């Protein structure tokens, strides 16, 4: 799997808050149809990177290139406009609204009278939910009536619906049980066929090895290295994360 | 997940749906039947009495529409009673010198302006709406008292009193027109527009709304402005129907409006509500008032019964939320 051009390219990304350097000279490429895992200890700068890539924080220096075009973003709306969607670990869903309203939250389609096009929202939700095999009772179900795994399935479906370039998954299974985690992992795995780049942040190395094509290790804001998943093992990655590389 | 599992999910969904959506209609029916039976000889069931109930509740219904938007966005507006008085007085004073059009602009403008002040403080200074509107409630209660030195101002402009109070069109009293039109527009905006959806999302999960690209501060500003404007309209309706304005107008309406909205299925903490439910809740409160008076209860007993009913409504609302 060697597609021609990376869908996302980060070059010499640097971010400091005041005198504090959060990210130093970070470079990474993500190709379409590829899952890249971003790992690192707490405070390594993973969340800062998510915010930079999703557009919430602009980098202090360095360039972000999407499909060959350099972009500047200063908020999440701009990130979304560039086809980047984030699935947050704490599920940014409105609990008392229906599945279909959540799918289209902030981007509701309107009919020719300028009113909400519920029929279209429901039809598109049902189609996508079926494609991704997210098992929910119906598009009309209220979010809070769903299990944690079903909710995360909805959040991923929403990101999938809107992401034309990149899906960022920030600890997507941190709050889930074993069976639910397995379901969500299957859904993530199926996203590869959609030819978008997928960047997943996870604390679980088992999960990282199960899902990813490449693993990027971050320590104290610096990129320690990128490994192809099938050519490395847990010991090497753990050594890189903790900084005990030279045994 | 098995199909049996799906079945129980749908089952619990359906049962809560019933409780939430129909409690107000069942309550309305129960109270109606109770009074119809108890007061069968006291004129409760006459057309005149029943239409009187609708006419009397028009201002409360209009305010309740605004409060559904405010509460659905997770905020509260305690200042609506004071806005009613300020708006009614502003209209009454200006009508006398400048005529009906200026009076309407002054009355509605006062409501919208106070709503904007509430909204700006909540949305951009990030103060809790409970405290902001508690303060403006007191502030504008004072303003309404000082506007005319506690005097009552009569409204003699017949076009105005006809349009907002005693007139009728096609045989239907204008207050009923106002109620129907306001409910229809309110329901449409609340249920069928992007704005309505964004209000609900904001009250449900402000962070989710925000990361979805919804401007949460704008929504907060908008709902409080709408509430202020509708309270201003309620003030005009009072001034039109009573043909006078006084600082006491709207003074006791706050609790009735909150009760109507909550009984009508709008959650205190936001994210869910109903405009039609608020209408039924408002009619129920009006019917309750009317029936208790006809039954000969003293004013203090009426207050006690009303308080108990509101308490029950809040209990049902919060019990559902905690599920």
pLDDT at B297: 87
Share of chain B above pLDDT 70, in %: 90
**Nearest-angstrom CA–CA distance, A76 and A88:** 13
Tally the domains of chain B: 1
Exposure b/e, B278-298, CB count within 10 A at least 16 = b: bbbbbbbbbbbbbbbeebeee
Q: Is residue B12 part of a domain?
A: no
Q: Is residue B2 part of a domain?
A: no
**Which chain A residue has its CA at the smallest distance from B1's CA?**
A135
Q: How far is B160 from chain A (nearest CA, A)?
A: 33
Angle at B107 between CA B106 and CA B112, to 5 degrees: 95
Nearest to B51 by CA among B287, B240, B289: B287
Domain residues for the domain of B153 are 22-322
> Which of A91, A106, A114 lies closest to B214 in CB terms?
A106
Question: Which string of DSSP letters, residue by residue, matches A32-55?
Answer: TT-EEEEE--TTSSHHHHHHHHHT
Which H or E run contains B107? helix B100-123
Question: How much is the pTM?
Answer: 0.86
Q: Is residue B126 part of a domain?
A: yes
* A231 secondary structure, DSSP code: G
Strand, coil or helix: B143:
helix
Side by side, the strands of the sheet bearing A84-87 are A69-71, A61-66, A8-17, A20-30, A222-228, A214-219, A35-39, A197-201, A166-170, A84-87
- Average pLDDT on A142-160 reads 87
At a CB cut-off of 8 Å and minimum separation 6, what does B7 contact? none
> Which of B9, B194, B205 lies closest to A145 in CB terms?
B9
Question: Predicted confidence band at A184 (pLDDT cuts at 50, 70, 90)?
Answer: confident
At a CB cut-off of 8 Å and minimum separation 6, what does A140 contact? A98, A99, A100, A122
Say whether residue A137 is in contact with chain B using an 8 A CB cutoff.
Answer: yes
Angle at A61 between CA A57 and CA A66, to 5 degrees: 70
Q: Are B74 and B269 in contact (CB under 8 A)?
A: yes
Nearest to B115 by CA among B79, B85, B141, B68: B79
> Which of A94, A101, A116 lies closest to B193 in CB terms?
A116
Residues of chain B with Cβ-Cβ distance to A105 below 8 Å are: 197, 201, 208-209, 212, 214
Query: Inter-chain contact B208–A94, Cβ cutoff 8 Å?
Result: yes
* Superfamily of domain A8-91+149-242, CATH level 4: P-loop containing nucleotide triphosphate hydrolases (3.40.50.300)
Nearest to B289 by CA among B274, B310, B268: B310
* A227 secondary structure, DSSP code: E
Q: Is residue B163 part of a domain?
A: yes
pLDDT at B19: 60
CA distances from A117 to A106, A148, A190 (A): 13, 28, 29
Q: Is residue B8 part of a domain?
A: no
Strand, coil or helix: B185:
helix
Mean of the per-residue pLDDT values for chain B?
A: 86
Q: Is residue B106 part of a domain?
A: yes
Residues of chain A with Cβ-Cβ distance to B200 below 8 Å are: 94, 96-97, 101
pLDDT at B86: 95
Give the start-to-end residue ranges of the domains of chain A.
8-91+149-242
Nearest to B77 by CA among B124, B136, B31: B136
Angle of helix B194-204 versus helix B216-242 axis, rounded to 10: 110
Q: How far is B201 from chain A (nearest CA, A)?
A: 6
Question: Predicted confidence band at B3 (pLDDT cuts at 50, 70, 90)?
Answer: very low
Exposure b/e, B144-173, CB count within 10 A at least 16 = b: bbebeeeeebebebeebbebbbbbeeeeeb
Q: Is residue B6 part of a domain?
A: no
Find the range with the poorest average confidence among A115-119, A192-196, B198-202, B258-262.
A192-196
Reply yes or no on whether the pLDDT at A51 is more than 60: yes
**Nearest-angstrom CA–CA distance, B165 and B11:** 47
CATH number of the domain that B72 lies in? 1.10.3470
pLDDT at B318: 60
At a CB cut-off of 8 Å and minimum separation 6, what does B28 contact? B280, B283, B284, B287
pLDDT at B12: 47
Question: Predicted confidence band at B116 (pLDDT cuts at 50, 70, 90)?
Answer: very high
Nearest to A156 by CA among A185, A178, A179: A185
Say whether residue B271 is in contact with chain A using an 8 A CB cutoff.
Answer: yes
Taking only the tens place, the pLDDT of each residue in B265-286 is 888 889 999 999 999 999 998 9
pLDDT at B320: 57
Mean of the per-residue pLDDT values for chain A?
A: 85
Residues of chain B with Cβ-Cβ distance to A108 below 8 Å are: 194, 197
- Average pLDDT on A153-166 reads 86
Q: Are A48 and A170 in contact (CB under 8 A)?
A: no
Angle at B274 between CA B269 and CA B276, to 5 degrees: 150
């Amino acid at each position: 799997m060697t597609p021609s051009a990376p869908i996302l390219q980060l070059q010499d990304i640097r971010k400091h808050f005041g005198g504090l350097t959060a990210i130093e000279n970070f470079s990474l490429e993500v190709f379409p149809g590829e899952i890249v895992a971003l790992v690192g200890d707490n405070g390594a700068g993973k969340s800062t990177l998510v915010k930079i890539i999703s557009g919430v924080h602009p980098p202090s220096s360095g360039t972000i290139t999407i499909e060959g075009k350099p972009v500047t973003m200063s908020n999440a709306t701009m990130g979304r406009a560039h086809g980047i969607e984030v699935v947050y670990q704490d599920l940014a869903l409105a609990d008392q609204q229906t599945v279909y309203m959540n799918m289209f939250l902030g981007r509701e389609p309107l009919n020719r009278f300028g009113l909400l096009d519920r029929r279209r929202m429901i039809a598109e939700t049902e189609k996508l939910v079926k494609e991704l095999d997210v098992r929910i009772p119906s598009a009309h179900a209220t979010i809070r009536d769903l299990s944690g795994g079903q909710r995360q399935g909805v959040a991923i479906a929403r990101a999938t619906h809107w992401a034309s370039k990149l899906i960022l998954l920030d600890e997507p299974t941190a709050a889930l049980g074993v069976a639910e985690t397995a379901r969500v992992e299957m859904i993530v795995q199926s996203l590869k066929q959609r030819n978008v780049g997928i960047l997943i942040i996870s604390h679980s190395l088992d999960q990282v090895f199960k899902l990813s094509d490449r693993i990027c290790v971050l320590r104290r804001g610096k990129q320690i290295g990128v490994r192809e998943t099938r050519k490395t093992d847990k010991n090497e990655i753990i050594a890189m994360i903790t900084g005990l590389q030279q045994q | 997940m098995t199909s049996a599992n799906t079945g129980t999910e749908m089952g619990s969904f359906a049962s809560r749906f019933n409780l939430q959506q129909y409690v107000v209609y069942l309550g309305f029916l129960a109270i109606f039947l109770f009074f119809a039976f108890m007061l069968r000889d006291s004129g409760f069931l006459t057309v005149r009495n029943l239409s009187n109930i609708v006419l009397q509740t028009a201002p409360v219904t209009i305010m309740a529409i605004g409060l559904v938007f405010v509460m659905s966005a997770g905020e509260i507006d305690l200042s609506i009673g004071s806005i009613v008085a300020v708006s009614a007085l502003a209209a009454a004073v200006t009508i006398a010198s400048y005529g009906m059009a200026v009076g309407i602009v002054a009355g509605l403008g006062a409501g919208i302006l106070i709503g904007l002040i509430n909204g700006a403080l909540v949305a951009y200074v990030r103060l809790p709406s409970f405290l902001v509107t508690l303060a403006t409630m007191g502030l504008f209660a004072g303003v309404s008292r000082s506007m005319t030195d506690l005097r009552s101002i009569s409204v003699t402009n017949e076009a105005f009193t006809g349009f907002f109070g005693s007139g009728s069109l096609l045989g239907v009293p204008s207050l009923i027109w106002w109620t129907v039109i306001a409910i229809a527009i309110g329901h449409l905006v609340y249920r069928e527009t992007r704005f309505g959806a964004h209000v609900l999302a904001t009250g449900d999960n402000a962070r989710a709304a925000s990361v979805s690209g919804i401007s949460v501060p704008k929504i907060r500003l908008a709902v409080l402005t709408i509430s202020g404007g509708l309270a201003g309209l309620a003030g005009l309706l009072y001034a039109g129907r009573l043909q006078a304005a006084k600082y006491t107008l709207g003074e006791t309406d706050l609790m009735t409006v909150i009760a109507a909205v909550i009984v009508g299925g709008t959650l205190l903490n936001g994210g869910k509500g109903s405009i039609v439910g608020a209408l039924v809740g408002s009619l129920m409160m009006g019917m309750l008032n009317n029936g208790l008076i006809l039954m000969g209860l003293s004013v203090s007993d009426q207050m006690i019964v009303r308080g108990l009913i509101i308490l029950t409504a809040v209990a049902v609302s919060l019990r559902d939320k905690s599920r």
